[in-house]
Amino acid sequence: MKPTISFGCTKYYNHFICAMKTLDSINHWSETHQSIWLDFIRTILGVFLLVKGVSFTVDFDRFHTILMNSQFKWVAAGLVHYVIFSHIVGGLLIAIGLKTRVAVLFNLPILLGAVIFINAKHGFFSGQSELGISLAILILLIFFLIYGSGKYSIDKYMEMHTFY
């Protein structure tokens, strides 16, 4: 009997081995399909998140209103600090291409929450909605979670040079 194949793995493989083979093939694809314009888009995405995080610190009155309207003030305060920290530090890391996938993982829940809970209330075509921008950023974050840092990044530089 011939084994069935799904995602390049036979049914006799351990699921962990199959997942690792899939991740290796995704990593191989991203390394063979590198382009400078993708690195440029990654840098713009990181700078945008960094600026958005700084703007949240400058416009702290909006977050103070959220805190005052919340039933769980400590949870809301923690979330506000998480959003600001993730956008500033994660944006910087994404922009320079250092641990891009980790920085993306910290920013994904924020953008999912922004799309689902905050911007979806206003609607896509209203004048005050940032739903389109949030969706675009979310799609880019998912792409760079798969693609990685790219050719022109600190991760690639550290991979090519050994430091003792």
The rounded radius of gyration (Å) of the Cα atoms in the chain is 19
User: pTM for this one?
Assistant: 0.77
Three-state secondary-structure class, residue 7? coil
Task: State the pLDDT at residue 118.
Answer: 74
Task: State the pLDDT at residue 128.
Answer: 64
Task: State the pLDDT at residue 1.
Answer: 46
Domain coordinates in residue numbering, the chain: 1-33, 35-160
Structure tokens of 53?
Answer: 């995080």
Residue 47's identity, in one-letter code, is V
Which residue intervals of 8-163 are DSSP H helices?
Answer: 15-32, 36-58, 60-69, 73-96, 100-113, 120-122, 131-147, 154-160
Task: State the pLDDT at residue 16.
Answer: 72
Task: State the pLDDT at residue 97.
Answer: 94
**What is the residue-level pLDDT of the chain in tens, covering all 164 positions?**
444 445 556 555 566 777 778 777 877 776 777 778 899 999 999 999 999 999 989 987 877 776 677 777 788 888 888 999 999 999 999 999 999 999 999 999 999 988 887 766 666 666 666 788 889 999 999 999 988 888 889 988 888 887 66
Residue 22's identity, in one-letter code, is T
